[in-house]
Amino acid sequence: MSHIRRLLNLYNMSTTNLSAYDANRVPHAGGMKFDIIVSDWNSEVTFALCDGAVETLKKHGAFDKDIRVFHVPGSFELVYAAKKSCQCKNVDAVIVLGSVVRGGTPHFDYVCQGTTNGIAALNAEGVKPVIFGLLTTDNMQQALDRAGGALGNKGVECAQTAIRMVGFTCDIDENAYVAL
């Protein structure tokens, strides 16, 4: 792929409503259990992400009783909370939702990198799918655009990803084979 085509693809990704998806590709979520961990920092953004996630889980058949929402002070704390949720037997997937907006110090880089690495490590453990819903933006408008604004709601995308990953986990477990 040419350099220009790659740049156009990146541009399109940043200007396209990423909440649009094929609902037929998402399994029925009835009986699936989800924890949603929400950072209270930048709550105007993160609470909208949570609303989008909860609405999408319900739209696909998840029951109210099977959706638990927990709050943590900031995005860095999402990793600890997700690890604790993964240890619960009655949870099929964990969704983490946060928003970090670039400021004038390196703090943005440390929080983003630490949170990203922590969530990636949890996924590598393979206990439960942990869905990464951390917005890392240059300004608040970019975050709002991705929390129900012009570019959709990342919470919607995270919820449908969580449902699909629980479906994948069930499929892979059902088709497990015994090594000789």
Domain assignment present for 175: no
- Residue 35 has, within 13 A of its CA and on its CB side, a CA count of 23
Whether pLDDT at 48 is above 60: yes
Residue 82 covered by a domain: yes
Segment (H or E) for 54: helix 43-59
Residue 172 lies in a domain: no
Q: Residue 151: inside a domain, yes or no?
A: yes
Q: String of b and e for 7-46 (b: at least 16 CB within 10 Å)?
A: eeeeeeeeeeeebebeeeebbebeebbbbbbbbebbeebb
In-domain check, residue 156:
yes
- The structural domain count of the chain equals 1
Q: Is residue 17 part of a domain?
A: no
Report yes or no on 75 lying in a domain.
Answer: yes
CATH code, domain carrying 78: 3.40.50.960
Reply yes or no on whether the pLDDT at 65 is more than 50.
yes
**Quick check: is 64 in a domain?**
yes
The model's pLDDT over 72-119, given as tens digits with 9 standing for 90+, comes to 999 999 999 999 999 999 999 999 999 999 999 999 999 999 999 999
Mind telling me the catalytic residues?
A: 107
State which residues form the domain around 63: 36-164
Confidence at residue 140, expressed as pLDDT on a 0 to 100 scale? 97
